[in-house]
A and B are shown apart, each in its own frame.
Chain A
Amino acid sequence: MTPASPLGAARFLATVPPLLDDAYSLAKWLCRDADDAEDIVQEAAVRALKALETTAVDRPKPWFLAIVRNAAITWMARNRRKDVAFAGDLGDLDAIMPAGDQGASDPEATLIAAQDGAQLRRAIAALPSPLLEILVMRDVNGLSYRDIADAAGLPMGTVMSRLARARCALAKSMKAEL
């Protein structure tokens, strides 16, 4: 590898290390494996260092998480089974729709809150990747809708509807397990 220039290295050190927890969490949810997540983040950091040689970024978090996301997609396309690939048929997703007509009530909210963590994590992991990544970027990484739209390269409306579908799918699966 070519050595980093001092400016590139300085930008890199100011930008990337504070985001490693977020990057690792995102990668781990996307590829569903801790060791793979480390490889993906390492790969993303190499790409980030290269990019920072020539550019500065003003919103580092969505910028770096976008690199992590792309690294994860490339990595999965190279190493993985089809079932977690991103290029799924989004038409299938329409089956999972917001369940607004279920006559929701307060006891339901209480039961959801009392859910077992392992069950919930299973339900999250079972989400289709296009929904999962939006949910993780929002609720784990805390990105705004606009930042998610940037990071995932999607229109804001798509981000919003996928987030709604993801949460409603979780609510549904939790109710199913109650």
Chain B
Amino acid sequence: MSDPASDSHSLRLHAALDGELDAANALAFDRDLAADSELAAEYRRLEAVRAAVRRHAPREAAPKALIDSVLALADAGGPAEPANVVELAPKARPSHWRQALPLAASFAVLGFAAGVALMSLRVPDPSHAVAENLVSDFARAAVVGQPFDVASSDRHTVKPWLAGRTTVSAGIVDLAPQGFPLAGGRVAVVDRVPSPTLVYRHNEHLVAVTELPLDARGTRGADGITTIDGYHVARWTDANLAYVAVSDMDEKTLAEFVAVFRAARAAQSEGGRG
């Protein structure tokens, strides 16, 4: 096989096999293949090798622990640092941000003074940090234009996807009849725990509901609707889980969504899990 002609002949065989020949070369190759039975046999042999490799050495799924630890990388420092949330603003609204800079600077000075004064009194409010983290997720998803990891309006698709990735088992309700069709699901990492997040659509708006275990850090207290960075955040709990819903809807529609969601979940747990 030191003969360069036969070498390039062999390379062409592989390139044809891999669909790497351009149109003219592919045409010429097909003609040769039809005319030369030896070439055709060699081609079939290589095809068999490649098929065997693909069948017996398939792409493997990455272990869940690896996926979780890689996802956690992007969140490192996120939950503990509300500064992260604020920084998202310049990407979305650069001009506002520049106008606000001097103001922000003076706030920073003020904040520092207040921080020093309050040092001894300071009680961290974990629930606020969790909400800010989820708002950050929501804003990030909006910036990237990818509000969910699995896009489906079918809860039987979303549920197993989430079940394989999170520890909380999400009970998924479809609210399409009430005007909030399911759009998909994603994983939010809250306090280093991957938690299921359901994304519903309402006209052009989205609402993302994250379900957290009741004993998770920062799920207690502060029920009701608050506003963080212009996003409305609703929080409530039921017998099993705590919920945080982040949305770009107006407050009234979000309240309506929460009522509909809670009613559907209550009906679901009475009638057995769906």
Contacts and interface: CB of A to CB of B under 8 A. Distances in A.
Interface in B50-77: 50-63, 65-67, 69-71, 73-77
A38 interface: yes
A10 B143 contact: yes
A4 B88 CA distance: 12
Contact of A12 (B14, B55, B74, B91): B74
A91 B20 CA distance: 27
B7 A139 contact: no
A141 interface: yes
Interface stretch (B39-47, B154-162, B169-177, B196-204): B39-47
Contact of A101 (B1, B11, B13): B1
A101 B70 CA distance: 48
Interface size class of B (residues with CB under 8 A): 35 or more
Contact of A45 (B13, B70, B144): B70
A79 interface: no
A85 interface: no
B10 interface: yes
Main secondary structure of the interface of B (DSSP, over half): helix
Contacts of A84: none
B48 interface: yes
Given A109-B47, A139-B54, A41 B66 contact: yes
B140 to A, nearest CB: 5
Contacts, number: 173
Contacts of A25: 59-60
Given A41-B62, A135-B53, A20 B48 contact: no
Nearest to B17: A167
A170 interface: yes
Interface string A107-127: 011101101010011001000
Contacts of B70: 16-17, 20, 41-42, 45
B32 interface: no
B163 interface: no
A24 B65 contact: no
A49 B71 CA distance: 11
B144 A120 contact: no
Contacts of A99: 1
Given A41-B66, A112-B45, A120 B56 contact: yes
Contacts of B41: 104-106, 108-109
B57 A21 contact: no
B6 interface: yes
Contact of B18 (A49, A106, A145): A145
B74 A4 contact: yes
A109 B74 contact: no
Nearest to B3: A100
Given A5-B87, A45-B73, A113-B51, A140 B15 contact: no
A174 interface: yes
Interface of B: 1, 6-7, 9-11, 13-15, 18, 20, 38, 41-42, 44-63, 65-67, 69-71, 73-78, 81, 84-85, 87-88, 91, 136, 139-140, 143-144, 146, 149
**Lowest 4 CB-CB distances: which A-B pairs, in order?**
A3-B77, A117-B56, A24-B62, A20-B62
21 contacts: A6-B85, A6-B91, A6-B139, A6-B140, A17-B70, A24-B66, A100-B42, A101-B1, A104-B45, A112-B52, A120-B56, A124-B57, A139-B57, A140-B53, A140-B54, A140-B59, A144-B20, A160-B15, A170-B52, A171-B49, A174-B52
